[in-house]
Structure 1
Amino acid sequence: MAITCYFGSGSPFSWRVMLAMEVKGLEYKAVELHFSKGETKTPEHMARNPRAKVPVLVDGDLTIYESTAILAYLERAYPDVPVFGHDNREAAQIWQRMAEVENYLGQALTSGVGPIFRGEIKGHEAEIQKHLSRLESEIDLVEGWLAESDFVAGDRISAADMTLYPLLALIERVSPRLKEGFEVGFFPLRKQYPHIAGFMKRIEALDGYDRTYPPHWREAA
Structure 2
Amino acid sequence: MSYHLYWMSGAPPVWRVMLALNLKKIRYTETRVTRDGGELNEPSFGTINPRRQVPVLMTPEGPVRESIAILAYLDRVKPTPALFGRSPAEAGVIWQWIMDYENHLRGAMVTMSMIAFRGEAEARAGELSQALDTGCAEMETILHRLRLMPWLGGADISAADIVFYPGVQWMRKALARLEPGPLHEMMENPALIRWEKQIEKLPKFAQTVPPHWAEGDPKNLDVLV
* TM-score calculated relative to the size of structure 2: 0.89
Please point out which of 193, 198, 209 is paired with 1:213: 209
Count the aligned residue pairs: 217
- Name 2:106's counterpart in structure 1: 106
Change (3 A) 1:172 1:120: closer
Report deviation, 1:77. 2.1
Residue 81 (str. 1) matches residue 81 (str. 2): yes
Q: How does 1:142-221 map to 2 (within 5 A)?
A: 142-179=142-179, 184-187=181-184, 190=187, 192-220=188-216
- Whole-angstrom CA distance in 2 between matches of 1:38 and 1:215: 19
- Whole-angstrom CA distance in 2 between matches of 1:160 and 1:148: 15
Which 4+ stretches in 1 moved above 4 angstroms? Answer: 118-123
Matched position secondary structure for 1:177: coil
Structure (1/2) with the larger helix percentage: 1
- Name 1:140's counterpart in structure 2: 140
Matched position secondary structure for 1:63: strand
Alignment gaps of 5+ in structure 1 = none
Matched position secondary structure for 1:178: coil
Report deviation, 1:116. 3.8
Between the aligned residues of both structures, percent identity stands at 34
8 Å CA contact 1:172–1:189 kept in 2: the answer is: no
Report deviation, 1:61. 4.1
RCO (CA 8 Å, sep 6+): is it higher in 1 or 2?
2
Alignment gaps of 5+ in structure 2 = 218-225
- Name 1:39's counterpart in structure 2: 39
Name the aligned partner's letter for residue 112 of structure 1: M
Report deviation, 1:66. 0.8
CA-based RMSD of the aligned residues comes to 1.9
- Whole-angstrom CA distance in 2 between matches of 1:189 and 1:204: 20
Moved more, 88-97 or 133-142: 133-142
Matched position secondary structure for 2:177: helix
Matched position secondary structure for 1:30: strand
- Name 2:220's counterpart in structure 1: none
- Name 1:4's counterpart in structure 2: 4
